[in-house]
Amino acid sequence: MKNLLALSLKTVQGELYVLDQTLLPHQQHWVHCTTVMQMVTLIQRLQLRGAPAIGIGASLLLAYRATQGDSREQLLQAAEILRAARPTAVNLMNNLDAMIRALQQADFADAAVACAEALFAEDVALCQRMAEHGAALVQPKERLLTHCNTGGLATAGVGTALGVISLAQQQGKTIQLWVDETRPLLQGGRLTAWECQQLGIPFQLICDNMAGMLMARGEVDRLFVGADRIAANGDFANKVGTYSLAVLAHYHNIPFYVVAPHTTIDLSCPDGSAIPIEQRAADEVRGVRGAFGQTLWAPEQAPVFNPAFDVTPACLVSGWVLDTGVYSQADIQTGILQQFASKSQQAMV
């Protein structure tokens, strides 16, 4: 396997390493990942997170196992175990489907490696094209707002929404970024803020419930968020709290964009009601856990509702920034998402 390097994933002399995102921003620790169950744990504990990165990480692990002599049957079983690791992120399902097709070939080990490497390279290219399309929307000196983490930590490339924002800054547009802390796991505060420091993006960290006040004061010009799954009608699932931002942006007449590769489109979901929403552990809401340990601020047995994602309806979206271009609600109503997803599926057969 080639030596590959992304912000959260790398392969070195055929070995796979994952940057433990739960220890950021204060510790950078690479985990040597060698087994299927280890990868499942890394994904479920959010040590590896971000829809594209999850799919690529799972694919690289299958490729690594193929180089270690696992049989076709063992690899196919492993793919199904990995598929169940995070149910909402459709990139994981799409990438594993591509790997399964590779495993049907006679030289399945070499085919698995080639497929995983191709998926990695594809994501790098998709991220760059999304960044270029989205950055063209940003005007000089705009104040942008984003939610969760959508940068290089979540992909193999420059990211989705944060990739757009980073390129706009590189183009000299002198933007200012509001970064939602993103409760309950603080991916904005821990990860996006860290990436912004690395990239030189001027930012200010805010609590999630401050966004509406900023919009009312006229201090937000445009929003960019990512997606874990886009339904055929343009509805999309993203980190919980995204829907609230979309409603606020709609009320205040502020452009709201979702940025994602075409590989995030799921034609099997006709609309957002068909997107499975992952429920996570109660302790994530009762308190906080990080490199410092764990702190509980709620009663230990307090009942908790903890969906990882919410669904934003297409009617609240100003535009879909894909690697193929920027599309309006009128475009979406013509069925353009189905065209892109169908072409993608045909190319992967």
The pLDDT value recorded for residue 95 is 96
Binding residues: 49-51, 86, 187, 238-239
The pLDDT value recorded for residue 243 is 98
Given a contact cutoff of 8 angstroms between Cβ atoms, the answer to whether 33 and 61 are in contact is yes
100 and 187 co-located in one domain: no
Q: How confident is the model at residue 343 (pLDDT cuts 50, 70, 90)?
A: low
225 and 308 co-located in one domain: yes
135 and 259 co-located in one domain: yes
pLDDT at residue 232 is higher than 90: yes
Sign of CA dihedral 63, 66, 68, 74: positive
Three-state DSSP state, 30: strand
Show which of 63, 92, 127 is a domain's final residue.
127
Can you tell me which residue has the tokens 């690697």?
323
210 and 142 co-located in one domain: yes
186 and 304 co-located in one domain: yes
159 and 36 co-located in one domain: no
Looking at residue 139, what DSSP letter applies?
A: P
Q: Which helix (H) or strand (E) holds 341?
A: helix 336-348
Looking at residue 138, what DSSP letter applies?
A: P
The pLDDT value recorded for residue 173 is 97
Candidates 288, 334, 271; CA nearest to 46 is: 288
pTM of the complete model beyond 0.95: no
**pLDDT tens sequence across 102-111:** 999 999 999 9
Rounded to the nearest 10 degrees, the angle between the axes of helix 161-170 and helix 108-135 is 50
66 and 173 co-located in one domain: no
CATH number for the domain that contains residue 62 = 1.20.120.420
Q: How confident is the model at residue 342 (pLDDT cuts 50, 70, 90)?
A: low
Share of the chain above pLDDT 70, in %: 96
d(CA 332, CA 258): 13
The pLDDT value recorded for residue 345 is 52
Can you tell me which residue has the tokens 């006040």?
213
Encoded amino acid at 133, one letter: H
Low-confidence winner among 57-66, 74-83, 194-203, 338-347 (lowest mean pLDDT): 338-347
Sign of CA dihedral 95, 117, 14, 131: negative
- Quick one: CA torsion of 306, 182, 263, 61, rounded to 10 degrees? -80
Mean pLDDT for the chain overall: 95
Q: Which residue has the higher pLDDT, 67 or 291?
A: 67
**pLDDT tens sequence across 174-188:** 999 999 999 999 999
119 and 144 co-located in one domain: no
For the annotated catalytic residues, the residue numbers are 228
Across the range 288-314, mean pLDDT stands at: 90
Query: DSSP states of 213-252 as a string?
Result: HHHHTT---EEEE--SEEETTS-EEEETTHHHHHHHHHHT
Show which of 83, 109, 127 is a domain's final residue.
127
d(CA 197, CA 182): 17
Backbone angles phi, psi at 230, to 5 degrees: -115, 125
203 and 331 co-located in one domain: yes
Show which of 91, 109, 127 is a domain's final residue.
127
C-alpha angle 345/125/93, rounded to 5°?
40
Domain extent for 103: 4-127
Kindly report the number of other CB atoms within 10 A of residue 217's CB atom: 9
Considering only the C-alpha atoms of the chain, give the largest distance between any 2 of them, rounded to a whole number of Å. Answer: 62
Encoded amino acid at 97, one letter: D
332 and 203 co-located in one domain: yes
Candidates 166, 153, 226; CA nearest to 202 is: 166
d(CA 349, CA 337): 19
Binding residues for substrate: 49-51, 86, 187, 238-239
Q: How confident is the model at residue 349 (pLDDT cuts 50, 70, 90)?
A: very low
Token duo for residue 268 = 């099997």
Which residues touch 230 (CB under 8 Å, ≥6 apart)? 236, 258, 260, 264, 265, 266, 320, 337
The pLDDT value recorded for residue 130 is 98
Query: How far is C-alpha 107 from the chain's CA centre?
Result: 32
Given a contact cutoff of 8 angstroms between Cβ atoms, the answer to whether 123 and 116 are in contact is no
**pLDDT tens sequence across 114-147:** 999 999 999 999 999 999 999 999 999 999 999 9
Encoded amino acid at 163, one letter: G
pLDDT at residue 339 is higher than 80: no
Question: What distances in angstroms separate CA 160 from CA 17, 145, 155, 348, one per listed residue?
Answer: 22, 14, 8, 22
C-alpha angle 300/210/136, rounded to 5°?
125
CATH number for the domain that contains residue 136 = 3.40.50.10470
**pLDDT tens sequence across 10-30:** 999 999 999 999 999 999 999
Total domains in the fold of the chain: 2
137 and 193 co-located in one domain: yes
85 and 230 co-located in one domain: no
**pLDDT tens sequence across 254-267:** 999 999 999 999 99
